[in-house]
Structure 1
């Protein structure tokens, strides 16, 4: 940890100013990303606003994770523009970006058996040598409590289950205390309780003024927890808006190439998305001999 902090100390950094509620924390405009001979993104546009949870949804291979990497400034597009904190992403140095956005990748791997508390504390490295370095202890404790990993503090990260590692990785991101969080499938390895916990944390961070982008496969979770959803399809964002407006049967059936039904939850009114199933086939399947 001391070596990582020293790297940040050696650089003079301008501390970020908070983004006004509803203001753009990051945006991608007309971005194009090519992998091999395929344009994964081609003209994609999306904005990320302070105080909102934005869920990126879409089928496998649609480019959700690629768009997240572009919005994070980690992947430079072949065309189009990306802005973070009002400035072109490429104009920020890596230490400056680390003060403005925190990124949770799909997988969290470490080569050495660091204790969990040290892994979470890595999220504080960007603030070394700044006035906010004094927040380190409180930030780490708060992040571990929010993700329910405090009891693992002394355990080696490598000894944890996949779901436990995922929560520790999220705690590291929360401890970074940036105004923009970009989370790639944070619920993928989690059970029902911890899926709800993670997305509740996302909502709390948005309510506190942060901009949160989360890649999700579960449309029900996106509908229940996101202020906006961006449906990634065909190299771009096919629809962008509140879940109740975007999650229509025609659009989702076309995007996922699977007929779906959408209906409001009887208590909350939140859109529920389920595959359309042939009732005759379902009836036959229910009477198969054991």
Structure 2
């Protein structure tokens, strides 16, 4: 299948990345101050059809931290991430990005301020890995294109996909695709990263790699929001966790304070054991298999 003549990339992809530019040049954001709130939701409610997916949710995302969204299936984690990214309008409540209502930003302005990794990535045309990662630079085309090469190379090296640069994206394994998709997000160089289950398709080594990258971006001053199912990864790498249950925030705070046996057993409807790792002191969460399932 050949790429249509004159089409560098599908329009639907470039729109998502902010390559469709309005009149005037978008201005990149200033470097965030440590602790600055880069995204927040207040009184957030989302209804999809007859179902209330989120109800009166409030959350703040600060520069310099990794915030993990955890909770059982259907708790509203991915929906909350989509609303924080301004990809899904709320039914009620307010979402602000970099201090302004999300709806006040144009698509190109948003693309310079937040980068989004969805749960799965698919492409309709046979792009190479290098071309996919370079798509992350689309928001910078009219701003600082001279930085593209270094940003792309750095993102590919960080996610260990440099050796895949010439391969078709469609020929990759699920784990390789996940890392290439993350490289595209990193190449976008936005100060707010919103990642939906970035470790789902990865082996143990690359799960740790991805979460270390999240910590490094936070250490550099960015804000990272990551949806995780693995409570061990969240406890080890997140500065703060928000536990969602049935569309509400059941708890929000540092993992050592939030991850308690009582709370997690109630939220997941499964008895768990919570104890400190004997060497690192990091919270460890395991199913309490001796207790059996919760009534």
Aligned to 1:227: 239
* 1:155-234 correspondence to structure 2 within 5 Å: 155-234=167-246
Aligned to 1:96: 109
Aligned to 2:283: 271
CA distance in 1 between counterparts of 2:270 and 2:81 reads 25
* 1:83-162 correspondence to structure 2 within 5 Å: 83-130=96-143, 132-162=144-174
Structure 1 runs not aligned, ≥5 long? 282-290
TM-score with structure 2 setting the length:
0.92
CA distance in 2 between counterparts of 1:87 and 1:75 reads 16
CA distance in 2 between counterparts of 1:81 and 1:6 reads 26
Question: Which runs of 4 or more aligned residues in structure 1 lie more than 2 Å from their structure 2 counterparts after TM superposition?
Answer: 1-12
- What is the RMSD computed on CA atoms of the aligned residues? 1.5
- Residue 37 of structure 1 and its aligned partner are, at CA, apart by 1.2
CA distance in 1 between counterparts of 2:65 and 2:19 reads 34
Aligned to 1:284: none
Aligned to 1:257: 269
TM-score with structure 1 setting the length:
0.93
Structure 2 runs not aligned, ≥5 long? 1-7
CA distance in 2 between counterparts of 1:241 and 1:259 reads 21
CA distance in 2 between counterparts of 1:150 and 1:10 reads 35
CA distance in 2 between counterparts of 1:121 and 1:209 reads 23
- Is contact 2:56-2:248 (8 Å) kept? yes
- Residue 236 of structure 1 and its aligned partner are, at CA, apart by 1.6
Q: Identify which of 51, 64, 69 aligns with 1:51.
A: 64
Which protein is richer in helix relative to its size? Answer: 1
- Residue 184 of structure 1 and its aligned partner are, at CA, apart by 0.1
- Is contact 2:19-2:108 (8 Å) kept? no
- Residue 9 of structure 1 and its aligned partner are, at CA, apart by 7.8
